[in-house]
Amino acid sequence: MNTATIAHDGHGHGDHHPSGIMRWLTTTNHKDIGTMYMTFSLLMFFLGGLMILLVRAELFQPGLQFLKPEFFNQLIGNHALIMIFGALMPAATGFANWQIPLMIGAPDMALPRLNNWGFWLLPPAATLLTLPFILEFFGVGDGALATGWTFYAPLSIQGGIGVDFAIFAVHILGISSIMGSINIIVTIFNMRAPGMTMMKLPLFVWGWLITAFLLVITLPVLAGAVTMLLMDRHFDTHFFIAAGGGDPILFQHLFWFFGHPEVYILLLPVWGLIPHVLSTFTRKPTYGYKAQVYSFIAIGVLSLVVWAHHFFTAGMPVPALLYFMYSTMSISLPLAVLFFCWVATMWRGAMTFETPMLFALGFIVLFGIAGLTGLVLADVAADAQYHHSYFVVAHFHYALFTGGIMGVMTGVYYWLPKWTGHMYSEKLGKLHFWLTVISFNLTFMPQFFLGLAGMPRRIPDYALQFAEFNAISTVGAFILGFSQLIFAWNIWKCIKGGEKAHAKVWEGAEGLEWELPSPPPHHSWEVQPKVA
C-alpha cells in the first residue's frame, strides 16, 4: 500500500517533501500517515493470524502434537494483543486519518506532527511485544507474555520478562492511541468546513468521535493498572498481592474498566462506516441519522459502567451481580436501534451487491449473532456455566472478527478506489468475501457447541469428545487464514493499477470525499468547501 500516494505529488504549493524512506519517516500528511497505519495493520493482521493458526494446528487433535503448553500460552495472549492493538485499532486510526479530513472538508489533521509521532510509536511497541519470542530462541528469558491478553494478577506477577515487555508495549501503544485520539477530537471540533454543524457530521466521524473520547477516558486507567503491576513485580508494592494487603480482584476491575469500553472503541468506527456503505448501495439516504448518533453516545456512556460482567464468577455480592447484568443487557437497546436503522436504510432500496455491500450485509447478520450470544453471557445464571469456555471465544470472535475485521474490510473495499484511484478486482473481492464468511462460520460456529459442552478456553489439550468440532474449527481457521491472502493480493493489484476510478466512485455515494478526484490531491481542501 506504500506507493498509494506517491504517484500524485506535485499539486499546489509546499510539496517539498523528501522522497524514499525519509518521506515516510517525516511525513505530516494525513493521507501518508493513514496509508502507514493501514499497512501496519495489515502486516499485524497476518502476524496475529499466523500465531493463531499455530494454536489451531495444535488443537486439530486431542493431545499435544506441535507446541509445548508454555508456548501455546504465549501465542494466545499475543494473538489477542496483536489483533486488538496492532491490527484493529491502527486500521481504525488509518481510516480516521484518511477519511475524516476528506469527509469534514479539512485540509489536514489538526496536529500533523503529533500524528506522525503517534504512528511511529507503533512499530517499537509491536517489536517490544514480540521480541521475547526471539530472545527465548537465543536462550534469553522464558518467552513472551503467557498470561493471556488480560494480564490477570497474580499470574502476571509471577510471569517472566515477557510480562515486562508487554507492559512497556501497552504503555507505548496507549500513548500512541491517546495522541491519535486527541488529534482526531481537535480535528473534528476545530477543522470542520463552514456550515458543517455537529448534526451534519458523517456518521463515520461521529462514531470515531465517541471512540476517541472513550480512548482518552479509559486508556490511562489501563496504563495505571499495568504500572501498578510493574511496581508489584519489581518495586515491592502490593497493589494486587494478597499477602501484602492488596487484592488480585482489583486488577480485574481496573483492567475491564478499560477492557469493556475497548470493545466499543473497536466497533464504533465500524458502526459509523456501515451506514455510508448501506446508503450508497441501496441508493437511499441513511435512515434515522439522529437516532444513530444518540445511540452511539448512549453506547459510549453505558460501556463505561458495565465492566464487571467480564468476571461474574470471581465473587460479587448479589446486588452488584444484578446491577452489572441489567446494565449490560441495556446496551442491547441502543444497539437494536442501530440494527433497525441499518435494515430500514435498505428497505425498498435499489440494492446492488458490490464487495463492500456484501461485507456490510455479512457484518449485519454475523454481528447480530454476536449480540444475541452476548445477551446469554450477560445473564448471571447462564454465565456461571459458560464463563471461560469456548462459548465466550466464539461470541467475541463473532463480535470482533465480523464486527471489527469484516467492518474494516467493508471500509477498505469501499474507499480503496478513492485512495488509489483504481478499482479493485470485483471478482477477487467477491471470492474473498464468500471464502471469508463461509470459513469464518466453519471456524467459530463449532466453538459455540464446544463451549456449551464445557470445553474450557486457553488449554492446549482437550477431552476426546471435543475432537470432531475442534477438527472442523481448525480446517475452517486455515481456510480463513489463507483466504486473506486474496485480500492482500487484491489491495496490491489495486495500488499498482487497474481500471481508473471516478471522483464519485460509487453511483449512489454521498458526501464531501466524493467531490475530490480519485486519488485526492496531496493537499486536499486547500479551499474549504461550504456545506449547505
- C-alpha 15/C-alpha 28 separation (Å) is 12
Residue in 191, 189, 203, 35 with CA at minimum distance from that of residue 105: 191
Phi, psi of 506 (to 5 degrees): -110, 135
Strand, coil or helix: 500 = strand
Indicate whether 200 belongs to the interface with other proteins (CB under 8 A).
no
Question: In this complex, which beta carbon is closest to other proteins, that of residue 8 or of residue 522?
Answer: 522
Q: Smallest distance from the beta carbon of 236 to other proteins, in angstroms?
A: 4
Q: Smallest distance from the beta carbon of 509 to other proteins, in angstroms?
A: 26
Q: Which three cell numbers stand for residue 445?
A: 460456529
How many other C-beta atoms can be found within 10 angstroms of the C-beta atom of residue 418? 24
Indicate whether 301 belongs to the interface with other proteins (CB under 8 A).
no
Residue pair 455/466 in contact by the 8 Å Cβ criterion: yes
The neighbouring-strand residues paired with 422 are 500
**Piece in contact with other proteins (CB under 8 A), picked from 67-75, 231-239, 449-457, 475-483:** 231-239
- C-alpha 406/C-alpha 437 separation (Å) is 9
One residue of 40, 152, 257, 469 binding other proteins per CB under 8 A: 257
Q: Smallest distance from the beta carbon of 246 to other proteins, in angstroms?
A: 8
**Piece in contact with other proteins (CB under 8 A), picked from 221-229, 285-293, 463-471, 498-506:** 221-229
In the chain, % helix, strand, coil (3-state, to 5) comes to 70, 0, 25
One residue of 218, 280, 389, 436 binding other proteins per CB under 8 A: 218
- C-alpha 269/C-alpha 407 separation (Å) is 9
How many other C-beta atoms can be found within 10 angstroms of the C-beta atom of residue 25? 11
* Residues 319-358 contacting other proteins, CB under 8 A: 320
Question: In this complex, which beta carbon is closest to other proteins, that of residue 98 or of residue 359?
Answer: 98
Indicate whether 14 belongs to the interface with other proteins (CB under 8 A).
yes
**Piece in contact with other proteins (CB under 8 A), picked from 46-54, 76-84, 125-133, 238-246:** 238-246
**Piece in contact with other proteins (CB under 8 A), picked from 88-96, 232-240, 282-290, 393-401:** 232-240
One residue of 195, 372, 526, 530 binding other proteins per CB under 8 A: 526
Q: Which three cell numbers stand for residue 189?
A: 471540533
**Piece in contact with other proteins (CB under 8 A), picked from 90-98, 403-411, 449-457, 519-527:** 519-527
Q: Which three cell numbers stand for residue 156?
A: 502476571
Indicate whether 468 belongs to the interface with other proteins (CB under 8 A).
no
Q: Smallest distance from the beta carbon of 182 to other proteins, in angstroms?
A: 5
**Piece in contact with other proteins (CB under 8 A), picked from 40-48, 196-204, 210-218, 259-267:** 210-218
Q: Which residues contact 317 (CB under 8 A, 6 or more apart)?
A: none
Residue pair 338/295 in contact by the 8 Å Cβ criterion: yes
- H helices of 121-236, in order, are 122-137, 155-158, 161-190, 203-234
Indicate whether 190 belongs to the interface with other proteins (CB under 8 A).
yes
Applying CB under 8 A, the residues found at the interface with other proteins are 14-17, 27-29, 107-108, 110-113, 178, 181-182, 185-186, 189-191, 194, 216-225, 228, 236-239, 241-245, 247, 249-250, 253-254, 257, 315-317, 320, 522-523, 526, 528
